[in-house]
Amino acid sequence: MNAHTKAVVAKMLLSVDAVKLSPCKPFTWASGILSPIYCDNRRTLSYPMARGYIKMALAQAVAEQYPSAEMIAGVATGAISWGVMVAEELGLPFVYVRPKPKDHGLENLIEGYLPEGSHTVVIEDLISTGGSSLKAVEALRDAGAKVEGLIAVYTHGFEEAVHRFEEAKCPMDTLSDYDAVLEAASAQQLVDTKTKEVLATWRKDPHHWQAPTAI
């Protein structure tokens, strides 16, 4: 993604409090990873200007990078809304992928009609380690879709995620990332130079990162 889009989206995420930075009192993920950043991109849905920009940026990325796309697939639950908006903007069909099959009815894993062989672009909300995103990609491939690639609103930029997507042979791009958020936060004087340096160390080794007692 180009630097301008990354910077604009990062600024928007910060302006609507979709991103919170807290290096001394980190958030704990379900996996146990300590994180100095909390990112809830769904918050942007409540702000028409941010929502509209992200929708158009995602749609433009799909149109430019995957002109042969025949299907848009959203990853539940965070990317269902983005996927629907992108599909509507491009005039394409839409499905979404559950993290696991429903426990009743038809027990669907994929909701909607997915013709076999459909050239599909996956829309994701956030990429951390990449595990849940690639699980959706695998489900679509198992159902007969030809997954062209995945585009997300934001990524933390972990090397682990990059390697996973490479191994899965699934191209991945994002509107913004952790580095862009740090630059935007610094420009807005939300963090000072020392805090920015501490925050930068987390992305390099998130599994072993320890929160500072003070900065």
What is d(CA 201, CA 207) in angstroms, rounded to the nearest whole number? 11
What is d(CA 186, CA 101) in angstroms, rounded to the nearest whole number? 43
- Show the tokens assigned to 131: 């595990």
- 55-88 burial code (b ≥16 CB/10 A, e <16): bebbbebbeeebeebbbbbbbbebbbbbbbbbbe
To 10 degrees, the CA torsion angle through 192, 197, 199, 200?
Answer: 140
What is d(CA 204, CA 199) in angstroms, rounded to the nearest whole number? 10
**pLDDT confidence of residue 213:** 80
Contact 114, 144 (CB under 8 A): yes
- Show the tokens assigned to 24: 């001394």
The per-residue pLDDT string of the chain (215 residues; one tens digit each, 9 = 90 and over) reads 899 999 999 999 999 999 999 999 999 988 888 999 999 999 999 999 999 999 999 999 999 999 999 999 999 989 999 999 999 999 999 999 999 886 666 668 999 999 999 999 999 999 999 999 999 999 999 999 999 999 999 999 999 999 999 999 999 999 999 999 999 999 999 999 999 999 999 998 898 898 888 77
Grouping H, G, I as helix, E, B as strand and the rest as coil, residue 1 is coil
CA distances from 155 to 1, 85, 128, 192 (A): 12, 20, 6, 22
**pLDDT confidence of residue 104:** 67
What is d(CA 177, CA 104) in angstroms, rounded to the nearest whole number? 37
What is d(CA 5, CA 208) in angstroms, rounded to the nearest whole number? 31
What is d(CA 154, CA 172) in angstroms, rounded to the nearest whole number? 11
Domain locations along the chain: 3-204
Q: Quick one: fold of 3-204?
A: Rossmann fold (3.40.50)
**pLDDT confidence of residue 44:** 96
